[in-house]
Amino acid sequence: MVAGNLPVIGVLDLQGGTQEHLEHLGHISGCVAKPVKAPDELQALSGLILPGGESTCLSRLFKLFGLHEAIKREHSRGMKVWGTCAGAILIAREIIDEQPHLALMDIAVHRNAFGSQMDSFNLTANIPEVSGEPIPLTFIRAPKIVRVGPGVKILLRHEDFIAAAEDDRCLATAFHPELTSGLAFHRYFAHKCGVSSELHSDQIEGWTARSWMQVARA
Ligand code: GLN
């Protein structure tokens, strides 16, 4: 689970926001971040991020790449899993009107519950467990988390939905911290994976709303 002495956090590299998560993890000291797409690459991981993208597409690719069972197996052995947006849908035990995918976490989600891509939005929220500073949040054709089971802690509730929740091994966020300047959620997940990391700031200096596009072009 460690490279040298450092825990390794993988980012699923099949479809969606892989580079943006890798870039954010690159600002967290005390861990190694790497893209993963093969089942045997999971064995070395302390944590795995399932990025946003499109959950039905990602689920089909899991099966093609032999990852479905491998992710379930490593999670049951202790690997931490963070699902952002489509990733949160993939780890949910229940999806309203659809079959679940990995079913790792006792939450129910409602896909595309805010409407179309045009109904995407930004928020800033205080989440004391995660950061002492307000956290910028970006929702893109996001799901709503509509129910959590007894072992699941709600980190952020907003209006009629739950936007972030966690249990011992999983973190689910309906939004995309990797598309903002904020590092708080990446640090929080890294801590969950056993990383000890001190950050001077929860923000990436010089990050602009177009920074993720620069990553995509590189
Ligand atoms: N709407 C997508 C889905 O249902 C999720 C969108 C996202 O990850 N930004 O899979």
Instruction: Encode pLDDT of 26-84 as tens digits.
Output: 999 899 999 999 999 999 899 999 999 999 999 999 999 999 999 999 999 999 999 99
Closest C-alpha among 197, 131, 202, 195 to residue 164: 131
For residue 40 the two structure tokens come to 């045997």
Alpha-carbon distances, residue 46 vs 3, 76, 179, 182, 192 (angstroms):
10, 12, 23, 22, 9
Q: 56 alpha carbon to ligand 1 midpoint, in Å?
A: 9
53 Cβ below 6 A of ligand 1 = yes
Instruction: Encode pLDDT of 91-142 as tens digits.
Output: 999 999 999 999 999 999 999 999 998 889 999 999 999 999 999 999 999 9
Instruction: Encode pLDDT of 12-26 as tens digits.
Output: 999 999 999 999 999
172 Cβ below 6 A of ligand 1 = no
Can you say whether residue 26 is alpha, beta or left, with left for phi > 0 and alpha for psi between -120 and 50 degrees? Answer: alpha
Confidence of residue 218 (pLDDT cuts 50, 70, 90): very low
| CA of 54, closest atom in ligand 1 | 10
pTM reported for the whole predicted model: 0.94
54 Cβ below 6 A of ligand 1 = yes
Q: What is the pLDDT of residue 202?
A: 81
Kindly report the number of other CB atoms within 10 A of residue 175's CB atom: 28
112 Cβ below 6 A of ligand 1 = yes
Q: Nearest C-alpha to atom 1 of ligand 1 is from which residue?
A: 141
